[in-house]
Amino acid sequence: MQEAVLNKLTEDLGPKLKKVFRKSKRRVYLDVEPDNVLDVARHILGIDGVRFAIATGIDTPSGFEVLYHFDFDKDDMVVSVRVLANRENPTLPSVATISKAADWVEREMRELLGINFEGHPDMRRLLLPDDWPDGVYPLRRGKPWEGKVEKKI
Amino acid sequence: MGFLLKMLAKSPWVFHLSCGSCNNCDIEILDLLTPRFDVERFGALLVGSERHADALLVTGAMNRKSAKRLKTVYEQTAKPCLVIAFGACASGQGIFRDSYPMTVPLDEIIPVDVYIPGCPPKPEAMIAGIIKGLQKLKG
Amino acid sequence: MSIGHAVLLFLIFPGFLFTAVLGLFVSWVDRKVTARVQFRVGPPFYQGFADFFKLLGKETIMPTGASRLFFLGAPLMGLAAVTLASTILIAGMVWPNQSFAGDLIVVFCLLAMPSLAMIMGGAASKNAFASLGASREMKLVLSYELPLILAILVPVIQSGWRLRIGELVNYQVAHGSFAWSVSGAIALLVSILCLQGKLGLVPFDQAEAETEIMGGALIEYSGPPLAMFKLQKAMMLVAMPAFILAVLWGGLGNSISSFILGLAKYLIMIVLVTLIRNTNPRVRIDQVMKFFWGVVSVSGVLAVISAAVGF
């Protein structure tokens, strides 16, 4: 059942996918280029019974890796769309323009990792306190906040 | 004054404040109100407002946003009051000591009377800690 | 009755000291029954007294900008009102021939004062949660006062339009309590529901909802003023059931057996209130108003009509 869904997905999306990695029966990773993210996401969200679950971001040696996880509840599998942003100028198109569920998690990635999402309707600060200095992104590798933030409140 | 302190030890009303905890310690506090470890035998009640409280039960490692509010809540509590640092995070920030949103540990912000270590502490440890705190209050 | 005698009645028996001690003890009964229903052990018997004395030893914090007169005067007003009401009521039950004309109406108005004291205290606290609690208490008072009046009209009608508590008690000693008639039974049920609302117990404790609005109308109180509010709540546990007992359910009578029966009825009311408290969730304030203005008031009107017709 999951093979059928996966095969149909690869068929429809075709050249937009850089790589398809099937980690286990229920877990699939699709690698895409930043330009194709919106098309792929729009297609997947158009399938009946699919919802956007969450997005995650991590700082890896090859750049900032952002994963968008889509839940195929009826077929009991999770499809993750992986996209890489380069380190000097991390910019990605914003999935919040097509799905309201991605709104807050992209704000969180913006303030904790420094990834710019183009087209996001509302880029305010979400989790960090108001007196946190701009430009210090805590979840990047190393300890970027050292020396810039005072310990005492 | 000795009589009033004795009465304070017989009826400690507890206000629970979480300063960036993972909520595990908070769930264990609810444990104490269940029939197995009934803490109402000692007269302890969970109250809704810090002005009614005799004991401040603080959980969580101090993150920047809630540590400011914690100081205000402590000043609003009617003295004499007991401050209980609950769990490894409140006692000394635990494994989150060098993390980015952390400020100083709890006992550098407000004076602490009882430390209850554990992640989360066992209910028996919690009751022992509360009793030790009440005995300290009686003098 | 000399001034000294009246002061003794007001302060010792059946006034302040008696009602306070009995009220704090009955509040322990309530907590113990709650604990046993939940399979717990519960607090020791002196818990009410320990709570009261502990609160006397804490500091009083006045919020800045709060009106000093109303903030500190509200608990005093409530305490004085419930003491006076309890004095008149219990004296009316124990010495029925000495009650004065119209004291039923006086006691009824006095028993509305503790809720007004809470509204006053909450509104004077300069806190958003406190005004929310005060407005909810206002809506509660609007809900349960009407059915209570209707319930009290039933014995007044049945006894031939007498408004003295002493005369109502004597009538019940002579003819049997009002609760045995159809209209009296409905009136008793209605008044027990209003009792739950007046005492501020779940499902009608919206004014002081702990987990919802952080203490509600009493959020800014601490120390001795809070002790007086808690004492007032405990004394209402004596005054309100005594009111229902005297007016609707036979009073204390004039023999040992009827005295013990009266005490048993009082305990039954307390345990009933506690059991209702433990088996129901807190409802929304508009559901409360719909309940009291709907089912309960209609039952009260039916009770009055059947009393007027003669049942």
**What are the residue ranges spanned by the domains of chain B?**
2-138
Q: Cβ atoms within 10 A of the Cβ of C50, count?
A: 20
The count of residues in chain B is 139
Q: Cβ atoms within 10 A of the Cβ of C297, count?
A: 18
Please tell me the predicted confidence (pLDDT) of residue B1: 66
Give the amino acid at B36: R
In contact, C88 and C245? CB cutoff 8 Å: no
Q: How distant is the alpha carbon of residue C283 from its chain centre?
A: 20
Q: Which chain A residues are Cβ-neighbours of B98 within 8 angstroms?
A: 143
Q: Is B55 helix (H, G, I), strand (E, B) or coil?
A: strand
Closest residue, chain B, to A146 (C-alpha)? B100
- The model's pLDDT over B97-117, given as tens digits with 9 standing for 90+, comes to 888 888 889 989 999 999 999
The count of residues in chain A is 153
Please tell me the predicted confidence (pLDDT) of residue C120: 93
Closest residue, chain A, to B97 (C-alpha)? A151
Complex confidence, ipTM: 0.90
- The model's pLDDT over A38-47, given as tens digits with 9 standing for 90+, comes to 999 999 998 8
Q: Which residues contact residue B110 at a Cβ distance below 8 angstroms, ignoring those fewer than 6 apart?
A: B70, B71, B74, B83
- The model's pLDDT over B25-47, given as tens digits with 9 standing for 90+, comes to 999 998 888 899 988 999 999 89
Parts of chain C with a pLDDT under 70 = 210
DSSP structural state of residue C178? G
| Contacts with B, A 130-149, CB within 8 Å | 131-132, 138, 143, 145, 149
Is the minimum CB–CB distance between C33 and chain B shorter than 8 Å? Answer: no
Residue span of the structural domain in which C64 resides: 3-309
What's the average model confidence in pLDDT over B49-75?
A: 90
Q: Which chain B residues are Cβ-neighbours of A125 within 8 angstroms?
A: none
What's the average model confidence in pLDDT over B56-68?
A: 89
DSSP H helices, A17-82, are 37-46
Q: pLDDT above 90 covers what percent of chain C?
A: 62
Q: Is pLDDT above 80 for A153?
A: no
Mean pLDDT of chain B: 90
Verify C-A touch: 3 or more CB pairs within 8 A. no
- The model's pLDDT over B68-81, given as tens digits with 9 standing for 90+, comes to 899 999 999 988 88
Domain boundaries, chain A: 2-118
Q: Is B53 helix (H, G, I), strand (E, B) or coil?
A: coil
What's the average model confidence in pLDDT over A70-89?
A: 90
Q: Which chain B residues are Cβ-neighbours of A59 within 8 angstroms?
A: none
CA-based nearest distance A136→chain B, Å? 11
Q: pLDDT above 90 covers what percent of chain B?
A: 45
What's the average model confidence in pLDDT over A115-129?
A: 87
Please tell me the predicted confidence (pLDDT) of residue C12: 86
Is the minimum CB–CB distance between C309 and chain B shorter than 8 Å? Answer: no
- The model's pLDDT over C55-66, given as tens digits with 9 standing for 90+, comes to 998 999 998 888
Query: For C104-121, b where at least 16 C-beta lie within 10 A, e where not — what string?
Result: bebbbebbebbbbbbbbb
| Contacts with A, B 64-83, CB within 8 Å | 64-65, 67-68, 71
- The model's pLDDT over A138-147, given as tens digits with 9 standing for 90+, comes to 888 888 888 8
Least CB-CB distance to A151: which of B68, B71, B104? B104
State how beta strands B82-86 and B55-59 pair: parallel
Closest residue, chain B, to C34 (C-alpha)? B40
Say how far apart CA C308 and CA C298 lie, in whole Å.
15
Rg over alpha carbons for chain C, rounded to the nearest Å, is 19
DSSP H helices, C103-223, are 103-123, 128-158, 165-175, 182-198, 210-213
Q: Which two tokens stand for residue B124?
A: 């028996």
Q: Cβ atoms within 10 A of the Cβ of B21, count?
A: 20
Higher pLDDT, C212 or A129: A129
In contact, B102 and B96? CB cutoff 8 Å: yes
Q: How distant is the alpha carbon of residue C138 from its chain centre?
A: 16
Q: Which CATH superfamily is domain A2-118 in?
A: NADH:ubiquinone oxidoreductase Nqo5 subunit (3.30.460.80)
Contacting subunits of B (3+ beta carbon pairs below 8 A)? A, C
Q: Which residues contact residue C191 at a Cβ distance below 8 angstroms, ignoring those fewer than 6 apart?
A: C147, C148, C151, C152, C244, C248
Rg over alpha carbons for chain B, rounded to the nearest Å, is 14
Q: Which chain C residues are Cβ-neighbours of B10 within 8 angstroms?
A: 46-47, 50, 54
The domain over range B2-138 is classified in CATH as 3.40.50.12280: yes
